[in-house]
Amino acid sequence: MAEVEAPPTVDLTVPAESENAVIPVAADEDADEDAPATSTALTTTNADGKKVIKKIVKKKRRPARPQVDASTFKSEPPPQTGTIFNIWYNKWSGGDREDKYLSKHAAPSRCNVRKDSGYTRADKVPGSYFCLFFARGLCPKGRECEYLHRLPTVTDIFNPNVDCFGRDKFSDYRDDMGGVGSFMRQNRTLYVGRIHVTDDIEEVVARHFQEWGQVDRVRVLPARGVAFVTYTNEANSQFAKEAMAHQALDHSEVLNVRWATMDPNPQAQKREARRIEEQAAEAVRAALPPDYVAELEGRDPEVSKRRKIEGSFGLKGYDAPDEVWYAKEKGDWEEEKERQRTGALEAPEEQLLIGDGTVEDAAAEASKGGIFSNTTLKALQGHSFKTAKKRGAPTGPLVGYGSDDDSD
């Protein structure tokens, strides 16, 4: 068996005498090389009892870079190739027929996530959408953009009626399976057509489409020159569809990226149904109290015993139904979360200790039926109150007025 030499270890310990020594750390992926760096000094003690000073240098996150020059950026409508402009498909129709495969033009630019991504104004606004021009590599605004310039993550959750760019979805897909998509189905699979087939085409497709998020599955049909790419997150599939439209892989082909139709494979349908059930189960677990979920799944037998004891609510022979017990558990759970969030006192007796009096004084005052406690009355004794003076009767001559009555 061949022996593998272990790599040498690097000691990042800085002696206390070395004041200018700096420990390099892994910089942020979005860190700017020219951005000012911030250093933090940490003083620790090693195994020998000597003081060790560690300086951690971390660069600030860089701003988003303008992808194109604003002076040269032009938003022009598609060239006229027919007699009628269809606003639904955003293209011309009518006139002479043309080859839809040869009429495709290569994209003018491509997004480089590593160089172009950064913070924008949208990072300060919760729930902001992603920049469509950034995905296409054509955003001229950079840090001044009102949309996000980065890749979507699993924590970016949007309304099912819109995509990650804020565009409204429709009830059904277009005939060519292009456009924004439909809100009736969660589609994470892209259809990629017109690829140049090679021996390593599956690795080439996976390498290019992994730039836009975590890929769950890649399937290539070399005989037809098409591929199907499935992402783990739906927002990443929406971003990749716009980023790879009319792009090329390792050759000069012009890709045709569209939404994939429903997979007729029974195994794929079972996987999708299982994934939807798991997402629904996670949503139910997040909405219900932990004790109630443990009782339903049978993971905590002590919960059933506690319900038999506390489920009677002090009434002999009474067994609370599931709705009543669930309402109690949910109320206690929400009260506990609110107490942790606001930092309120745990017991009502402790809330009475806020004033100068005692619990006994407050209880005695409550038994008298008064509306003010002793602490409140003591606080009011040191203040003087003045009543407003009554206004006198108005002076001056009385002015007569006429009416329609004959007695006047």
213-249 pLDDT, tens digit each: 999 999 999 999 999 999 998 999 999 999 999 999 9
The pLDDT tens digits of the residues spanning 299-345 come to 666 766 676 667 666 667 677 777 776 777 777 777 777 777 665 44
What DSSP line would sit under 207-257, residue for residue?
A: HHHGGGS-EEEEEEETTTTEEEEEESSHHHHHHHHHHSTT--SSSS---EE
Q: For residue 217, give both structure tokens.
A: 């599955």
**DSSP type of residue 255:** -
Q: Tell me what pLDDT residue 329 has.
A: 75
Q: Tell me what pLDDT residue 38 has.
A: 61
Strand partners for 192: 227, 257
Spatial separation of the C-alpha atoms in residues 351 and 362, rounded to whole Å: 11
Mean pLDDT of the chain: 75
Helix or strand run (H / E) with residue 93:
strand 91-93
- Which residue would you say has higher pLDDT here, 24 or 52? 52
pLDDT-derived band at 20, boundaries 50, 70, 90: very low
- Which residue would you say has higher pLDDT here, 329 or 351? 329
37-45 β-sheet, strand order: 23-24, 51-59, 37-45
Q: Structural domain boundaries of the chain?
A: 23-59, 84-268
Percentage of residues in the chain with pLDDT exceeding 70? 61
- 204 within 8 A of 176, measured Cβ to Cβ: no
Report the SS3 class of residue 331.
Answer: helix
Q: Tell me what pLDDT residue 331 has.
A: 78
The pLDDT tens digits of the residues spanning 373-400 come to 666 666 666 666 566 666 666 555 555 5
Half-sphere exposure of residue 213: CA atoms within 13 angstroms, side-chain side: 27
The pLDDT tens digits of the residues spanning 66-100 come to 999 888 767 667 677 778 888 877 777 776 554 55
Q: Tell me what pLDDT residue 323 has.
A: 72
Spatial separation of the C-alpha atoms in residues 258 and 241, rounded to whole Å: 7
Spatial separation of the C-alpha atoms in residues 362 and 355, rounded to whole Å: 10
Q: For residue 27, give both structure tokens.
A: 């910089």
- Which residue would you say has higher pLDDT here, 133 or 54? 133
- 268 within 8 A of 206, measured Cβ to Cβ: no
**Per mean pLDDT, which of 170-184, 293-307, 368-382 is the most reliable?**
170-184
Q: Tell me what pLDDT residue 122 has.
A: 95
Q: Tell me what pLDDT residue 402 has.
A: 56
The pLDDT tens digits of the residues spanning 106-122 come to 898 999 999 999 999 99
Q: Tell me what pLDDT residue 220 has.
A: 95
**DSSP type of residue 47:** T
Helix or strand run (H / E) with residue 256:
strand 256-259
Q: Tell me what pLDDT residue 187 has.
A: 92
Q: Tell me what pLDDT residue 67 has.
A: 93
Q: Tell me what pLDDT residue 270 has.
A: 86
With 80 as the cut, is the pLDDT of residue 156 above it?
yes
The strand ranges marked E within 22-89 are 23-24, 37-45, 51-59, 84-86
Burial (CB < 10 A; 0-12, 13-18, 19+), residue 244, is buried
With 60 as the cut, is the pLDDT of residue 138 above it?
yes
Spatial separation of the C-alpha atoms in residues 217 and 239, rounded to whole Å: 17
Q: Tell me what pLDDT residue 15 has.
A: 44
Cα dist from 341 to 329, 334, 335, 337, 352, whole Å: 18, 10, 10, 6, 21
Q: Tell me what pLDDT residue 114 has.
A: 92
* For residues 156-162, average pLDDT: 90
Percentage of residues in the chain with pLDDT exceeding 90? 33
Query: What dotted CATH number matches 84-268?
Result: 3.30.70.330
Q: Alpha carbon 10 to chain centroid distance?
A: 38
With 60 as the cut, is the pLDDT of residue 9 above it?
no
Range of lowest pLDDT (69-73, 177-181, 250-254): 69-73
